Amino acid sequence: MSTTKLNKLIKTLDTKQMRCWVSILILLLFFGTNVATAQEIILRGKVPVYIHPEEPAPVRKAVTDLLRDLNNVFGQPSQVVDKLPESGPVIVVATGTRYEGSQKPVSGWEAHQVYADHGRVILNGADMRGTIYAVYSFSELVLGVKPLWFWTSEKPAKKGKVLIAADYLKAFSSPYVKYRAWLPNDTDFLTPWQKLSAENYEAFYETMLRLKLNTLEGSIADKSSFTAPFPAGKDATIGQRRGLITTGHHMQIFGSNYSNWADYWQKIRKLPVPELKIANRDALKEWWAYHIDLAVKNKLDVIWLVGFRGNRDIPFWEFFPDAPTDPASRAKVIDEMVHIQIDLLKEKIKDPHPPMRLTLYNEMSTLVAGGFFKLPDEPSLIRNFVAARRDHFPAADVRSHQFSGEPAGYYMNFQFTSTGSHLAQAEGPRKMQQNFRMVDSLSGNKLIFSVVNAGNMREHLLELSANAEMMWNFKTFKPEEFLKSFSANYFGDPFGAEIGTLYTDFFNSYWQQKKGDLPGFERQYLFQDMRYARAMEMLLNDLEKGKYSVNPLDNHPMDNPDKGSVGYFRVIPADNAATDQLDALLKGTTSSIAKLEAVTARADGLYAKIKQGRHFFDDNLRGQAYLMLHLNRSLQLLTLAYQKRDDKPGKRQLIGQSLDEIHLAQQRLHQSEHDQFAGWYANDTKFGMKNIEQRLTNLYKQLTP
Which pLDDT tens digit goes with each residue over 369-393? Answer: 999 999 999 999 999 999 998 999 9
pLDDT at 585 over 70: yes
pLDDT at 511: 98
User: Residue 21: is its pLDDT beyond 60?
Assistant: no
Please answer whether residues 172 and 109 qualify as being in contact, where contact means their C-beta atoms are separated by less than 8 angstroms.
no
Whole-model pTM: value is 0.93
- For residue 13, pLDDT beyond 60: no
> CA-to-CA distance for 568 and 559, rounded, in angstroms?
6
Least Cα distance to 176 among 485, 477, 481, 480 occurs for: 477
Highest mean pLDDT among 15-24, 81-90, 298-307, 560-569: 298-307
Distance CA 533, CA 541 (A): 12
User: Is residue 499 pLDDT above 50, yes or no?
Assistant: yes
The pLDDT tens digits of the residues spanning 589-608 come to 999 999 999 999 999 999 99
Local confidence band at 18 (pLDDT 50, 70, 90 cut-offs): very low
**Is residue 668 classed as helix, strand or coil in its secondary structure?**
helix
pLDDT class of 160 with cuts at 50, 70, 90: very high
Percentage of the chain surpassing pLDDT 70? Answer: 94
Question: pLDDT tens for residues 223-278?
Answer: 999 999 999 999 999 999 999 999 999 899 999 999 999 999 999 999 999 999 99
Judged by average pLDDT, the poorest of 56-65, 73-82, 559-568, 640-649 is 559-568
Strands (E), 262-414: 302-306, 356-359, 381-386, 408-413
Residue 561 scores a pLDDT above 90:
no
Whether 39 shows a pLDDT value over 90: the answer reads no
Q: What was the pLDDT predicted at 37? A: 46
Confidence of residue 507 (pLDDT cuts 50, 70, 90): very high
pLDDT score at 85 = 94
pLDDT at residue 563 is higher than 80? no
Give the pLDDT band of residue 40 (cuts 50, 70, 90).
Answer: very high
Mean of the pLDDT values across residues 671-696?
Answer: 97
Q: What domains are there in the chain, each with its CATH number?
A: 42-172 (3.30.379.10), 179-477 (3.20.20.520), 529-561+574-702 (no CATH)
Cα-based torsion angle of the residue sequence 7, 11, 12, 18 in order, rounded to the nearest 10 degrees? 110
User: Cβ(137)–Cβ(129) under 8 Å?
Assistant: no
In this prediction, residue 567 carries a pLDDT of 84
Share of the chain above pLDDT 90, in %: 91
Measure the CA–CA gap between 283 and 293, rounded to whole angstroms: 15
pLDDT class for 9, splitting at 50, 70, 90?
very low
In angstroms, rounded to a whole number, what is the distance separating the alpha carbons of residues 394 and 397?
8
Strand, coil or helix: 663: helix
Indicate the average pLDDT of the chain. Answer: 94
pLDDT at 412 over 60: yes
pLDDT for residue 26: 41
| Amino acid, res. 86 | E
Measure the CA–CA gap between 278 and 263, rounded to whole angstroms: 20
More confident residue, 17 or 491: 491
545 secondary structure, DSSP code: H
